[in-house]
Structure 1
Amino acid sequence: MSMRPSYRFLRIALAAGWVLGWSASGAQADRIVVGASAKEADVVVGCIYPMTGRAATYGEDSVMGIRLALQDLKAEAATGLPTPHIRVIVDDALSKVSYGLRLAEDFIDQDGVNFLCGMVSSGVAHAISDLARRRRVILVGTDHASSRLTIEAGHRYYFRFSNDSWISNAAGARYLRDIRAEQPWRRIAFLNPDYDYGHVSRDDLLAAMDQLGMDYEVVAELWPKLYYPDYSSYIQALKEVKPDIVITALWGGDFMAFLKQANAAALFDDMRVANFDTGANYDILVALGDTPPPGLILSARHHNNWPDTGYNKRFVTAFHALAGRYPTYAAEGAYTGIIAIARAVTAVGNATDTDALITEMEGLKLPLPEDPPGFVSQIDPETHQIEQAQAIGVPVPDTRFPPAKVMLGAIKVYGAEELRPPVDLVRRRRAAASGGSETPPNQHKENPQGDRQ
């Protein structure tokens, strides 16, 4: 039987054809434009990504993923296939909700975008998703992962084209179940960032474990702020409660900083650390060097070395040729978003019939680099979440993708079918969010007066 705390124990919450350019020296990156000219464009897309600070790598890789998608579409057009001319405008919200909203409004009112896209921070994404619903503009999510965006807060104008926190944690729960025979465990602790994504990631893992009837005890929940520099107090708290496994949703530079400090404090001598959503991202694997801490369990939303398919090899090789480095998972998410927009617009015949585009995207099947053989990613028409497989493993020596010296190995793969959120869970969460109604949010009728006023 599972055990969860009934009190707030150990809760620590401290406080061109192609045009591309940004300023690395300034506090804020310049606006970036890629793809077709304003005169030639059939479709205009406004994207928001971090281009400065700790998360800048994800913004830069997203832009490269967009460029690669446009490059692939241009190659298709050269063979005679119908493809729209897409213009993509990228700006940096600086991880601030208010600024992100202003950028999105400007995209709609000044640039006349047909689609909004992007976001790394789930907090920023929530606010812009609400704006997209009010303004009746399709939002293509490519990186942020809070499952609340497609379940509780889902609506007909929002689609997400990368694995979300439910998919990653449903796979994580199954991985924890599967390793029990070799390594018995019971006590777990959470170390998650103190904002929507971190809290929803915890809820998703616990719900997935309960769905499987797993026995566990939560001994600590620790909540550092996003971009927090010093994890020493959290590491000490973990050493005191001694969980068998620490589950963390820290990502990017935050996860790197934690790993470095935890390794120096010999935390890995006493417990394993698992990161099911972002831990095997390429930048993390580079940071691990050739001697990663023992006991790490990792996954990510795309892997350079898995699946071993022609499409994934072409994607990784083409990205490296374009960028001079190997991609983080953000690149494939952004690539996917642009390819999805192109497919929908091609099928509908224009980028202005929003209702027809939504209908087309609700039934979209999209072969992607991360698809294992025999599987094609597809959009769940009810939640608008793309359904994908998830690979989980441990870092093993692998020098094929320098400067990384390890890659994900000993991989266990969990199929999209088993990672779909249970219908009763979706209904419960939606009912709780809407005050009792179980009507799928994407089915609600919109107020016509909210149309681009």
Structure 2
Amino acid sequence: MLPLSRTVIATALATACLAGAPLRAQAERVVLGASAASADAMVGCVYPMTGRAAIYGLDSVEGIRLALADLDQEAAVGLPVPRLGVLVDDALSKASYALRIAEGYINDDHVRFLCGEVSSGVASALSDLARRRQIIMVGTDHASSRMTIEGKHPYYFRVSNDSWISNAAGARYLRDIRAEQPWQKIAFLNPDYDYGHVSRDDFLAALDGLGEPYEVVGEFWPKLYEPDYSAYIEALKEAKPDIVITALWGGDFIEFIKQAKAANLFPHMRVANFDTGANYDVLVALGDTPPPGLILSARHHNTWPQSGYNRRFVERFHAQTGRYPTYAAEGAYSGIMAIARVLTKAGVDASNEQVIAAFEQLQIALPEDPDGYTSHIDPDTHQMVQAQAIGTPVPNHDFPPAKVMLGNIRVYDAESLRPPRELIDRRRAAVRGSPTFNDYPTP
């Protein structure tokens, strides 16, 4: 555990993040687990620890703590688990910082694995570095499907739901409600970098695959961490979609909701966020009177699944921090547990090729798995295959300070959300021979 003074500071920072307070100064490195001298493997993680996305880095650190505590308990009863040392540094959501940190991890700290990030633009740069330096990277929170479809390479794996999974589930949700809640016109409001553009592409491809008719009446591309959405809100009013599909995340989505509510947008159209909209920080920000018509999901939920594993994860996180987790916590927890399971299977002295082979065969129970299902890696994409739950905010005071949680849930099973073979082949063929697949702006 952290010394008390640092625990108090971390809790205060997290509370400030949930309240929307800006944080600017770069955070200090966090060192967890075994020392470099005693560790079987060192893991170098990069997360935003300050700024608008800071809560995701802070929660990731706490998720890593929970994973290391679980591994310590297994070791205490004689189970063969590797000793992991984990370093976490603040990249300020900037690719240049992240690359500098990761190079230091590799050159100076001799890490065996990289892990993290939140922004897909930053993560794409890290994935390319991992490929060039032949260091295995475990993605825990970013979601662009281009990293596992077009940009798939031997050294990158992702353990949380990606933009294809979330949008394939979202397309099915809109199909399923259509008879009772007719819709035809859609508009997109996505951040103008890799993740936002790919999310749009994924949703339309999924909707086309279902044979659902639609009309796109607008596409709007605010920059990441945009402070003022008023022009976009007015443009949406003029476009008059039935549903706005948005991939805004974290503080950006919270700020958009706040401004859109003040501008009276919600009585005119529904707003759907299938990948990040039901994150705990968003639910806190909604208060007790969320705007009407929201359709939300996230990569992990405090209320779903109602499995023993998930309840224990949420309760232990709360006991450790005094707050409830955003999805980033479960993603980081999953990343460390996945590394441990792979090293247990392959052996701590295994070659990179042996570790990659073990990753491609990985099956691992995780808090977000519904009863009877076990997450597993798709060897063709290196993406974890997982289910998705979509719903609407309903009153719930069991997870304060949130006053609503996700309810009216529809669950879409993991196997139905795999990207079709034809789509994978087509997208990979389109970039074959290109020097890079990340041709959208990187923040």
Q: TM-score, normalised by structure 2?
A: 0.93
Equivalent residue for 1:230, pick from 206, 221, 228: 228
Corresponding residue number in structure 1 for 2:432: 434
Equivalent residue for 2:374, pick from 373, 376, 386: 376
Pair 1:109–1:202, CA change in 2 (3 A): same
Pair 1:212–1:258, CA change in 2 (3 A): same
Corresponding residue number in structure 1 for 2:154: 156
Equivalent residue for 2:407, pick from 380, 386, 409: 409
Corresponding residue number in structure 2 for 1:165: 163
Corresponding residue number in structure 2 for 1:96: 94
Letter in 1 for 2:198: V
Corresponding residue number in structure 1 for 2:359: 361
Equivalent residue for 2:293, pick from 292, 295, 316: 295
Instruction: Provide the C-alpha distance between the structure 2 equivalents of 1:192 and 1:75, rounded to a whole number of angstroms.
Output: 42
State the SS of the aligned residue for 2:429: helix
Alignment of 1:252-401 (within 5 A): 252-350=250-348, 353-401=351-399
Instruction: Provide the C-alpha distance between the structure 2 equivalents of 1:345 and 1:295, rounded to a whole number of angstroms.
Output: 46
Alignment of 1:37-186 (within 5 A): 37-186=35-184
Instruction: Provide the C-alpha distance between the structure 2 equivalents of 1:351 and 1:178, rounded to a whole number of angstroms.
Output: 50
State the SS of the aligned residue for 2:75: helix
Instruction: Provide the C-alpha distance between the structure 2 equivalents of 1:314 and 1:112, rounded to a whole number of angstroms.
Output: 34
State percent identity of aligned pairs: 71
Deviations 1:192-215 (A, max 9, x none): 000000000000000000000110
Corresponding residue number in structure 1 for 2:20: none
Q: Report how far residue 223 of structure 1 moved.
A: 0.3
Q: Report how far residue 352 of structure 1 moved.
A: 5.1
Q: Report how far residue 347 of structure 1 moved.
A: 1.1
Contact 2:49 2:58 in 1 (8 A): yes
Corresponding residue number in structure 1 for 2:423: 425
Letter in 1 for 2:174: L
State the SS of the aligned residue for 1:159: strand
Deviations 1:294-325 (A, max 9, x none): 00000000000000010000000001111110
Contact 2:392 2:409 in 1 (8 A): yes
Instruction: Provide the C-alpha distance between the structure 1 equivalents of 2:91 and 2:234, rounded to a whole number of angstroms.
Output: 34
Q: Report how far residue 18 of structure 1 moved.
A: 8.8
Contact 1:18 1:34 in 2 (8 A): no
Instruction: Provide the C-alpha distance between the structure 1 equivalents of 2:340 and 2:422, rounded to a whole number of angstroms.
Output: 34
Contact 2:24 2:51 in 1 (8 A): no
Q: Report how far residue 79 of structure 1 moved.
A: 1.1
Instruction: Provide the C-alpha distance between the structure 2 equivalents of 1:126 and 1:27, rounded to a whole number of angstroms.
Output: 24
Consecutive unaligned residues in structure 2, runs of 5 or more: 14-22, 438-443
Instruction: Provide the C-alpha distance between the structure 1 equivalents of 2:182 and 2:24, rounded to a whole number of angstroms.
Output: 51
Q: Report how far residue 98 of structure 1 moved.
A: 1.4
Instruction: Provide the C-alpha distance between the structure 2 equivalents of 1:39 and 1:231, rounded to a whole number of angstroms.
Output: 50
Consecutive unaligned residues in structure 1, runs of 5 or more: 1-15, 442-453
Instruction: Provide the C-alpha distance between the structure 1 equivalents of 2:320 and 2:123, rounded to a whole number of angstroms.
Output: 28
Corresponding residue number in structure 2 for 1:239: 237
Instruction: Provide the C-alpha distance between the structure 2 equivalents of 1:422 and 1:296, rounded to a whole number of angstroms.
Output: 28
Instruction: Provide the C-alpha distance between the structure 1 equivalents of 2:350 and 2:280, rounded to a whole number of angstroms.
Output: 37
Q: Report how far residue 348 of structure 1 moved.
A: 1.4
Letter in 2 for 1:64: E
Aligned CA RMSD, in angstroms, stands at 1.6
Q: List structure 1 runs of 4+ shifted beyond 2 angstroms.
A: 16-26
Instruction: Provide the C-alpha distance between the structure 1 equivalents of 2:209 and 2:388, rounded to a whole number of angstroms.
Output: 18
Alignment of 1:198-217 (within 5 A): 198-217=196-215
Instruction: Provide the C-alpha distance between the structure 1 equivalents of 2:192 and 2:285, rounded to a whole number of angstroms.
Output: 24
Q: Report how far residue 97 of structure 1 moved.
A: 1.1
State the SS of the aligned residue for 1:202: helix
